[in-house]
Structure 1
């Protein structure tokens, strides 16, 4: 085998081996590929990684979920399947260090709770993304990907970056957060508690009141946040992935959005993994890497949808 092909083969095998490992911190033998591109204490942070395999074919702006621990140690595994993508991972401000293996995470710090609400996070995410994209001006197709709560920022980021060519939503039904929350409360027989929380979010309680680990400002934003209609009317294709064993989003919520999204003018592709949980993990498998494999396929085919698109 010629030397250049041998090197490419080694890189490919290493990337596939990394994708097969469960999420977690990098081992001592693995040098982290993500580095801090820039960050500010009250704004957040951008972690950046070049394409694992040349040539870089596209760029992914990745917005994770609502946790208050840094994803820096697990970022390499999170994005392992994005082989030909330059990846920009946004992180909220005031995050705690990631807990060690087998260690329970600490409660969210007060600074995080005080600053965390959807409107403020969207403003920060726009600033972080704009600064990061200015530092990497190569004309690559831009993909916006939201995981769990991160999906709730997709319409706002799409408006800020109209050059984006594709939306990816994983671990979120796509309904307005308050509607998804109500359906989940019904699933857990907790409708009364959810109704009381939503009512309290509109009351004139002290601004620093905390309920269920978040300030009431967070719940007020959530109650009025719109996601379903902006996603349905956005002209970009939408790739939507979820797990059939998601304990945080009910099947009814996913089915409701998927039924409406079939008629999106921009196109809709649903990837449902029956054995996967909220994070798309299953026994011995990380189905998020299967989602990234579809992005790789789209990139190879010039952004054209495959002939057959999975349906739930």
Structure 2
């Protein structure tokens, strides 16, 4: 058979009905003619088709599954040995902080060669008490506050200070029955200044209390600095904010965030306002033991 007879229809078919890659593939077939299911080579002979030998399928070997024992009613389960439990003895409770016992304050002058006036002596006792209390607090002693625990009772029971509270020594500036008037040219007070420096060295902060209006805080601060009582201007100054603001409220507010360990003033009402409402002196007899043991009567600090 003439090869050209076979190729010609293919070429015509590619030019008329096919396009793209299909048409491009047709000339490649021109080198050999197709007839039915046979392929002719260039000499017109049937090309022998060599079938590739099929790859034998891999044989999967069976895997031996171990036989698990089956629990039956007759199966005896060995008992587990008890696990030893270590018994840890309880640690002993720490001993309670010792109650603070203030050493007695001597009524004699600290140095007979340098006698003090009664006002200076009472201020020296105030300083010594506050300093000793601060030292006791550092050793973990349970300190009593100078503020009464009950807002109404006259039993003399006092609050207790927490271990981490800041100790405060409070000084009332107002004269008995009046209001403090700061001097523009105050006199130096080296003795008082030395005592306050001792307290600051012990970690005690100083607070000044007055019913003077808060508007006068600058004048009070200047007077304390010039008198040497607050040379660095770092002390607390508590003045009246409005007509309803009382000293007792401010004392209690300060005691709520600190520990007031000692109060100094020139009258008993400087320690607690309930002194203003006693019907008789006998009514406050349970408060008297605090005088000299947290409350100290001193001379009025100089003003105008």
TM-score (norm 2): 0.28
Whose helix fraction is larger, Structure 1's or Structure 2's? Answer: 1
